[in-house]
């Protein structure tokens, strides 16, 4: 395999790398949600097969996929949540790294990297993200209330009502409501309330 190979679409990616996944003893994954690496979705994992599997996700994944994550964790997958930005990556046995690239015309590009110096740098970034992340069970417990309120908050944001009105509707204080909005925007990776609504539609919350 060349040091760096760029492929387009998951079908081509896994056609080229399925044998590498099958032989790997350790698989590490970092992603914003469950859609970048659809072929390795936690809900599709039936057994780790003795492999060590670690996954780091952004908080937004808990809004629509918490059940899938908990199922995977019961099967032995180690899952952590990070509030930091992540490079969407899969690492196989610290020898092969796959980086998600740009999406054009609905098709995602991926770089498959085998050059040791590059792979080790990517491994170091993943390990830093892993150390700084929170175990799923801990983060999920803290996130539970926000997950329940998220659909109502998003509806109120899309209606354009004032924060004071929205807070009263939810029975929250104004500061608490604004904190919830900020937490929800962070979970969705949104920088504006409009973007939060758009992102929520993308992941199926609205």
Cβ pair 78, 54 in contact under 8 A:
yes
Most confident of 44-48, 129-133, 150-154: 129-133
pLDDT at 43 over 60: no
Residue 26 CB contacts under 8 Å (≥ 6 apart), including other chains: 51, 52, 53, 54, 91, 92, 93, 94
Same CATH topology for 4-132 and 139-202?
no
Q: In what order do the strands lie in the sheet with 4-8?
A: 4-8, 107-113, 96-104, 89-92, 26-31, 52-57, 78-81, 134-135
pLDDT at 130 over 80: yes
Banded pLDDT at 27 (limits 50, 70, 90):
very high
Residue in this structure with the two tokens 């060590």, named with its chain if needed: 52
Between 28 and 68, name the one with better pLDDT. 28
CATH code reported for the domain at 139-202: 1.10.10
What is the percentage of the chain residues whose pLDDT exceeds 90?
Answer: 35
Read off the DSSP letter of residue 171: T
CATH code reported for the domain at 4-132: 3.30.870.10
Give the residue extent of every domain in the chain: 4-132, 139-202
pLDDT digits 0-9 by tens, 70-108: 888 888 999 999 988 888 999 999 999 999 988 776 778
Residue 162 CB contacts under 8 Å (≥ 6 apart), including other chains: none
pLDDT at 58 over 90: no
Residue 93 CB contacts under 8 Å (≥ 6 apart), including other chains: 24, 25, 26
- Longest Cα separation, the chain: 60
pLDDT at 42 over 80: no
Find the range with the poorest average confidence among 42-51, 61-70, 122-131.
42-51
Find the range with the poorest average confidence among 47-51, 97-101, 199-203.
199-203
pTM for this one? 0.74
Which residues are 100's β-sheet partners?
A: 110
- How many angstroms separate the Cα of 102 from the Cα of each of 106, 108, 110, 111, 158? 10, 6, 8, 10, 29
Banded pLDDT at 127 (limits 50, 70, 90):
very high
pLDDT at 37 over 80: no
pLDDT at 38 over 60: no
Residue 51: φ, ψ to 5°: -80, 155
Structure token digits, residue 112? 């498959």
């Amino acid at each position: 395999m060349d040091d760096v190979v760029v492929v387009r679409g998951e079908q081509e990616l896994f056609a080229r790398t399925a044998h590498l996944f099958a032989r790997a003893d350790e698989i590490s994954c970092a992603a914003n949600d469950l859609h970048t690496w659809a072929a390795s979705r936690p809900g599709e994992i039936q057994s780790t097969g003795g492999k060590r599997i670690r996954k780091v996700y952004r908080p937004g994944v808990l809004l629509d996929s918490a059940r899938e994550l908990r199922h995977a964790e019961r099967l032995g997958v180690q899952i952590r949540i990070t509030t930091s930005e992540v490079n969407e990556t899969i690492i196989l046995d610290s020898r092969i790294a796959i980086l998600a690239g740009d999406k054009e015309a609905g098709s995602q590009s991926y770089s498959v990297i085998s050059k040791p110096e590059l792979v080790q740098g990517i491994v170091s970034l993943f390990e830093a993200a892993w150390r700084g992340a929170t175990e799923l069970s801990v983060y999920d417990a803290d996130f539970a209330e926000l997950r329940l309120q998220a659909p109502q908050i998003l509806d109120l944001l899309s209606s354009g009502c004032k924060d004071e009105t929205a807070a009263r509707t939810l029975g929250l204080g104004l500061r608490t409501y604004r904190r919830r909005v900020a937490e929800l925007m962070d979970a969705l990776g949104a920088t504006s309330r409009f973007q939060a609504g758009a992102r929520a539609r993308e992941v199926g919350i609205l």
